[in-house]
A and B are shown apart, each in its own frame.
Chain A
Amino acid sequence: MINKPVKEKKVAIKVMDMVAGYEDDVILNHINFEVYEGEIFVILGGSGCGKTTLLKHLIGLNRPMDGNIIISGIDITDNKGDNLQQVLRECGILFQSGALFSSMTVAENVALPIQEHTDLPASSIGNIVKMKLAQVSLTGYENHLPSEISGGMRKRAGLARAMALNPKILFFDEPSAGLDPVTSAELDQLIIRLNRSYGTTMVIVTHELPSIFSVAHRVIMLDKRVKKIIAEGSPQYLRDNSQNPFVRQFFNREIESEL
């Protein structure tokens, strides 16, 4: 109480000794890390290292085999879903392909969580949906169906839906996958802007290097051979100073045999 530093970072997500996998197949073995409030935190690693698996555990789609996940001070792994529901209300998730409901228009997709979780009148919901879509530059596409807009737009619409309830934590599964460099850079800017203006904690799973260098405050890197976190820190630091050859390779886009 006395010796604590004045400006302590608050922990948003804490993963303690977690073991994750499918049936007998362990993918992540006893991993520990923390995500602080307001930071952009990137989970990266080569294909098949368990990035998406880790994300699925963080948002409660899968339950860990062992260990605990604590989000906003609530342990989502301890009982049967009550805590998880409470935590999920403060989380937004952007899925890889947007996961928009194909039978609803863009505006209806964004409005859905607002209608379900608040009792605002329809005109207020309409206003909020407009503001959300304006934030992701989709004004004018309210009445389009997801099948009628491009992949990048679908992703932005998915982001608008993920942000619908102004979550404290936003999770992104490969936000730049399948986008052209310009669109992808725009999405990065959007992520940075939202992080600044709302102080939203962001957890991003990706392996797009340019994106990592432009948005990430801190990264962890997973490796499928050891099934653990092999590096943690800012991407610039890891690129230049990491002792682990695999980490340097990854950040410098080198092929393994070249070492």
Chain B
Amino acid sequence: MTILNNNLTNLYSFSQESPDKLTIHFKDRLDVSNASPLTKEFNTLLRTHKPDSLVIDLDKLIYLDDYGVSVLVGLKKAMGNRRGNFSLANISEQVNEILTMHRFNELGQQPTSVLKTSQNFFTNLGSSTFNIGSEVRFMLMFLGDTCFSLLTFLRHPGSLRFNDTVENMKRVGLDALPIVGLISFLLGLIMAFMSSVQLQQFGANIYVASLVSISMTRELGPIMTAIIVAGRSGSSFAAEIGTMKISEEVDALSTMNINPNFFLVLPRMFAAFLVMPVLTLFSDLFAIAGGLLVGVTMLDLTVSGYTNQTINSLTLFDVFWGVFKSGIFAILISWTGCLKGFQVRGGAAGVGKATTSAVVTSIFLIVMSDSLLVVILRYWNG
């Protein structure tokens, strides 16, 4: 009894000699073009017929490739699973050659999944612990390297890459000015607007000026600037150095007896350290201008009244404190960015991870150090 299949008739037919013996006759080609429909077909075939023994007749097969071999392996495995017999019949010399080349006999026996091997919990725990350990070690070494570079700079100030530093100052500072300005201006505007709703009830419109200026210069100005710089420049340091690392440019520096840390990290840290305080001052100014706009247009304040109130409520210490903090943030951001860049391993994915990690770590360090400074200042002043 021969039953022909409707869809793939010209590729195979099968016959059932006895209830538990099934023979599949292949014709023409068994290759990449028909492997997946045939695999599905045979799954249903085996499910419906449930044979105890399966014979594959390769007599009329003209072309077989590795996809075809995988179909045969699938059949062999399926029969193995139901403890049935599997055999090939009429193997021509060419077919045999291909089967041997692909080690058909070994293929069914070993576990086939080579993709996504999941490891057990303890292995993962152990390896992440080791990873954290080596990361901390690397961080300390990098910190040491940076200190050493700084000492080298103090002994030979002329050896710093001056042009690189200036170029980085432009990238970190000047190029960031528009976005820092815009965000600070809007922030000042929002603060003034929101606080005026409350202060108006007490007729205390003029204190909008104090609120905007003090909160911006002491806290929000430095923090907003730092977050923008972390997003713009911290990430770019990590990506740039990371790419240099994987394309062996960092190794090239070392072999030329140039300290990569001194060459790459110091110019970036100096640049950030020099321009971030200036950016912060601009941020303060723009925010005050934003507040001024709200004050003049909505709160019936005069320009001179607003500016006088701003000047009176600010002390020089407030401004310096903000600038001092931004200097600390600059060091944290640029150092973290460079560190993450130097930690990159592997390829493109590593650079992506390092960039994300640089920004997240920087922002965390900014907020963390800011809180610390607030506490220190509180106790210092008594």
Contact = CB atoms under 8 A, between A and B. Distances in A.
B219 interface: no
Interface string B62-78: 00011101110110010
- Max count, chain A CB within 10 A of own CB: residue among B70, B98, B113, B350: B70
Contacts of A134: 102-103
B117 A124 contact: no
A143 B345 contact: no
A126 B35 CA distance: 14
Given A127-B107, A132-B66, A166-B65, A120 B39 contact: yes
Contact of B347 (A124, A146, A198): A146
B115 interface: yes
Contacts of A135: 66, 101
Nearest to A107: B114
Contact of A103 (B32, B98, B346): B346
Contact of B70 (A102, A105, A131, A143): A131
A40 to B, nearest CB: 19
Contacts, number: 90
A124 B70 contact: yes
Contact of B115 (A126, A165, A198): A126
Given A103-B348, A143-B114, A147-B346, A124 B39 contact: yes
Interface string A103-122: 10101100100000011111
Interface in B33-58: 35-36, 39
B73 A127 contact: yes
**Chain A's interface: helix, strand, loop or mixed, by majority?**
helix
B251 interface: no
Contacts of A125: 115
A143 B112 CA distance: 13
A134 B107 CA distance: 11
Contacts of B36: 118-120
Interface residues of B, number: 32
A45 B114 CA distance: 41
Nearest to B111: A126
B31 interface: yes
Contacts of A101: 347-348
Contact of B31 (A107, A147, A166): A166
A100 to B, nearest CB: 8
Contact of B113 (A102, A123, A131, A146): A123
A198 B35 contact: no
A108 B117 CA distance: 11
B114 to A, nearest CB: 4
Contact of B66 (A103, A122, A123, A166): A166
A124 B66 contact: no
A126 B117 contact: no
Interface string A140-168: 00110111000000000000000001100
Interface string B343-376: 0011111100000000000000000000000000
Contacts of B115: 105, 107-108, 111, 122, 125-126, 129
Contact of A131 (B71, B74, B102, B346): B102
A111 to B, nearest CB: 6
A102 B354 CA distance: 14
Given A102-B350, A103-B347, A127-B73, A142 B114 contact: yes
Contacts of B114: 107, 111, 126, 129-130, 142-143
A108 B73 CA distance: 20
Contacts of B69: 127, 131
A131 B107 contact: yes
A103 B349 CA distance: 6
Contacts of A108: 115-116
A128 B67 contact: yes
Contact of A102 (B39, B74, B349): B349
Contacts of B347: 101-103, 146-147
Nearest to B103: A134
A241 interface: no
B349 A121 contact: no
A147 B350 CA distance: 11
A135 B73 CA distance: 17
Nearest to A167: B32
B117 to A, nearest CB: 6
18 contacts: A101-B347, A102-B346, A103-B348, A118-B32, A118-B36, A120-B70, A123-B74, A123-B112, A124-B74, A126-B113, A127-B73, A129-B114, A130-B112, A130-B114, A134-B103, A147-B347, A166-B32, A198-B65
Interface of B: 31-32, 35-36, 39, 65-67, 69-71, 73-74, 77, 98, 101-103, 107, 112-117, 246, 345-350
Top 8 A-B pairs, shortest CB-CB distance: A102-B347, A103-B349, A126-B112, A142-B114, A107-B114, A127-B70, A131-B66, A166-B32
Given A121-B39, A126-B113, 4 more contacts: A101-B347, A105-B115, A123-B112, A132-B66
